Amino acid sequence: MHIRLSTKVEQPLEQVYAQFDEQLFLALKPPLMPLKLLRMDGNEVGDEVHVKLLWSLLWISRITANRQEGDRWYFTDEGTVLPFFLRTWKHRHIMERLPEGGTMIVDDIEYTAPYKWLSYLLYPMMYMQFWMRKPVYRRVFMVTG
């Protein structure tokens, strides 16, 4: 399955990228989802993020790419240990400088579940989880002062 959502924010690319950290990760946590961040190394290749979901499900992702190409910066996390309802997970965090100012943040997610029907069943929940990031991005990355 594939989900791609874009959010325009006011801050420049370099400031947006610099704030993709533990504080932002926790701000983006879906409401009402029990989630505990156990480890977050950063966004460089080889870094890992360890999360405990729903009291006991472990999710470990490794950063497999981090690149700046002109006016575009992205890093990719891929699941190495996933909860039982996912077989694969790949999330590209893309940030693109906009000609009129600001940055476009793109969440580009690919996942599969152990069964095709489960991939489809999970889609609305996954989509909503990332759609709910849009107001958080706008709040965190608005220009102040």
Average pLDDT over residues 104-117: 98
pTM, rounded to two decimals: 0.94
* Residues 121/63/97/70 CA torsion (nearest 10 deg): -130
Q: pLDDT tens, 68-94?
A: 999 999 999 999 999 999 999 999 999
Residues 6+ apart with CB under 8 A from 26: 37
Is there a domain that residue 78 lies in?
Answer: yes
Q: Which tokens is 3 given?
A: 């989900």
Cβ neighbours, 10 Å, residue 52: 15
pLDDT at 33: 82
pLDDT at 144: 64
What is d(CA 86, CA 7) in angstroms, rounded to the nearest whole number? Answer: 26
Q: How many domains does the chain have?
A: 1
pLDDT at 30: 84
Is there a domain that residue 8 lies in?
Answer: yes
Residue numbers of the domain that contains 101: 2-140
Is there a domain that residue 44 lies in?
Answer: yes
Q: pLDDT tens, 64-73?
A: 999 999 999 9
Report the percent of the chain where pLDDT is more than 90.
Answer: 91
- The DSSP 8-state label assigned to residue 29 in this structure reads S
Is there a domain that residue 145 lies in?
Answer: no
pLDDT at 3: 98
- The residue whose two tokens read 């947006």 is 16
Instruction: Write the CATH number for 66.
Output: 3.30.530.20
